[in-house]
């Protein structure tokens, strides 16, 4: 497993991850977890699509990333954007009771894949404790997911104000 790239909303993490992935040799696969639920999200998706060149193939998978990872190998560079959207999809799903099982399968697939993998995620745990149960569950679950992935990642980079801060490994992502 290669790298985890985290940051706040609008921090530049997706642009940083895209540039890092494009610098790597191999077939480029963008794995999107976003779903179009409103006009704002549609606009965000269109903006991110415009940032990628034609070398990228798109895989849209809002929940089952373990299955996706199993399809690729050493000739592939996978950019997964974003883990907090993945978690939101699970939290708002009728299948939330399956999240822990899927998370374990995903972590196993990250360890097993020979593909280069860059994971983008939002850091959401640096603020106050949220007032409602769903928000607290989201913050807790995202923190635990990030810890689990950071433990197996070769590199962990935090993007702040467009600047990469290397937390683990050499040179960021």
The two tokens of residue 144 are: 């635990």
Does 146 participate in catalysis according to the annotation? no
Nearest to 63 by CA among 29, 33, 95, 35: 33
Q: What is the DSSP letter of 153?
A: -
Question: Which residue in 24, 48, 137, 168 is the catalytic one?
Answer: 48
Q: How many CB atoms lie within 10 A of CB 112?
A: 12
Asked whether 107 and 152 are in contact (CB, 8 A), the reply is yes
Hey, which residues does 116 pair with through a beta bridge? 77
User: Looking up tokens 């801060």, which residue turns up?
Assistant: 165
Nearest to 55 by CA among 70, 37, 77, 34: 77
Nearest to 160 by CA among 122, 130, 117: 122
CA distance 171 to 165: 9
Catalytic residues: 48
């Amino acid at each position: 497993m290669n790298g985890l790239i985290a940051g706040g909303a609008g921090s530049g993490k997706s642009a940083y991850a895209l540039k890092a992935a494009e610098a790597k040799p191999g077939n480029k696969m963008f794995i999107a977890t976003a779903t179009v639920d409103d006009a704002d999200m549609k606009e965000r998706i269109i903006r991110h699509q415009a940032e990628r060149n034609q070398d990228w193939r798109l895989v849209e998978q809002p929940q089952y990333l373990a299955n996706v990872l199993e399809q690729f190998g050493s000739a592939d560079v996978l950019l997964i954007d974003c883990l907090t959207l993945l978690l939101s999809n699970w939290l708002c799903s009728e299948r939330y009771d399956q999240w822990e099982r899927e998370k374990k399968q995903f972590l196993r697939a990250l360890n097993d894949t020979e593909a280069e993998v860059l994971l983008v995620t939002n850091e959401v745990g640096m603020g106050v404790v949220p007032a409602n149960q769903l928000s607290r569950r989201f913050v807790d679950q995202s923190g635990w997911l990030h810890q689990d992935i950071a433990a197996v990642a070769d590199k962990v980079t935090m993007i702040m104000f467009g600047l990469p801060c290397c937390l683990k490994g050499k040179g960021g992502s």
